[in-house]
Each structure stands twice: as C-alpha cells, then as structure tokens.
Amino acid sequence: MAREGYERHGAELYRYALARLADDAAAQDVVQETIVRAWRAGDRYDPAAASLRTWLFAIARNVVADILTARRRAAELPALVHDLRKDHMSDHSAGVADADLVTWALGLISHDHRTAIVETYLRDRSYADVAADLGVSVSTLRSRVFHGLRQLRQATSEMVTDR
C-alpha cells in the first residue's frame, strides 16, 4: 500500500508540502515521512472510511504540522536565551555566556525533560519520531517539552537574577 501511495500520490504530496513549507528538502522529507508512517500504520487504514489519497494527505498534514511546530520552537529557544543576556556583554561573550547558561540549566532538569528538549528543539526532530524512539506517546513527549521548558525558564531566570 505504501508503494502504491507513493507512486500514485507522491508528486501531489510533494507539491502540498512545498506550498506549506517553502523548502524543497523539507517537502521531500514530508513525502518520505508520510510514506513511512503509512507503511507503519497500514493495518489501520480502512478503505471504507477514506480513500488512500485522503488518508495519505491526513498523514502529510500531521507531518507538516510537526515540522512547523519544530521550526517555531527552535526559533523560540534562542529568543529565550537572548532575553537573558546582560546589556554590557559583547555579542561573542554573551553568546558564550548564553550557551553556558543553557547547558547549566539543562543539567538541572530531569533526564526525560532534557532528552525531550534536546531532541525536539536542538536536533529539530519531529515529535512523532522522538516519541517513537523513546517509546512514549506524542502527548507524553509534548508534556515533557512543556514542563522542561518551564523548568529551564525558571532555572535561567533565577540564575540571571542571582548575578
């Protein structure tokens, strides 16, 4: 079924992803990930409920959403760190201090929260992929990221106010 889906709908899935992401490589990744997810979930596909095309586009929509969420979150982390900079630091020294601060703060949170943040934010991996690798649900991973970021903000704000 995955092969048939790719042969019949791959080009259309690519155009869909390209229109939403404006990135050729990311659009290709969406098609690949869509087909992989379809292959993995092939036993759950019900042709009576939806056409193969509809099912594949539902999967692709989720993959695109994961990528956009990862991009947004990746963009938020440097902003969080930037907000913690001291005005008197040079850009280079502030960058080094920021990296040290984030590294230090990551060491304060639990292993599960740290892994969730590193994999989704810093390595820019999709929630679905990370959740599958960790053997947890996507909602559990999202919760770990949410709570981990909250702990990071708290730890870094305490560190900055202590200076």
Q: What is the pLDDT of residue 91?
A: 54
- Distance between CA 22 and CA 98 in Å, rounded? 31
Q: Which of 58, 59, 97, 65 is nearest to 81 (CA)?
A: 97
Give the DSSP letter of residue 109: S
Q: Which residues constitute the domain of residue 95?
A: 84-163
CATH of the domain at 17: 1.10.1740.10
Letter for the amino acid at 68? L
Domain total for the chain?
2
Q: Which two tokens stand for residue 9?
A: 């709908």
Same domain, 122 and 157: yes
Asked whether residue 102 is domain-assigned, the answer is yes
Same domain, 89 and 154: yes
Cβ-contact 147, 155 below 8 angstroms = no
- Consecutive 10-residue runs of the chain (163 residues): their mean pLDDT? 86 96 90 91 91 95 86 64 48 54 77 88 88 90 88 72 53
pTM of the model: 0.52
Asked whether residue 19 is domain-assigned, the answer is yes
Cβ-contact 140, 131 below 8 angstroms = yes
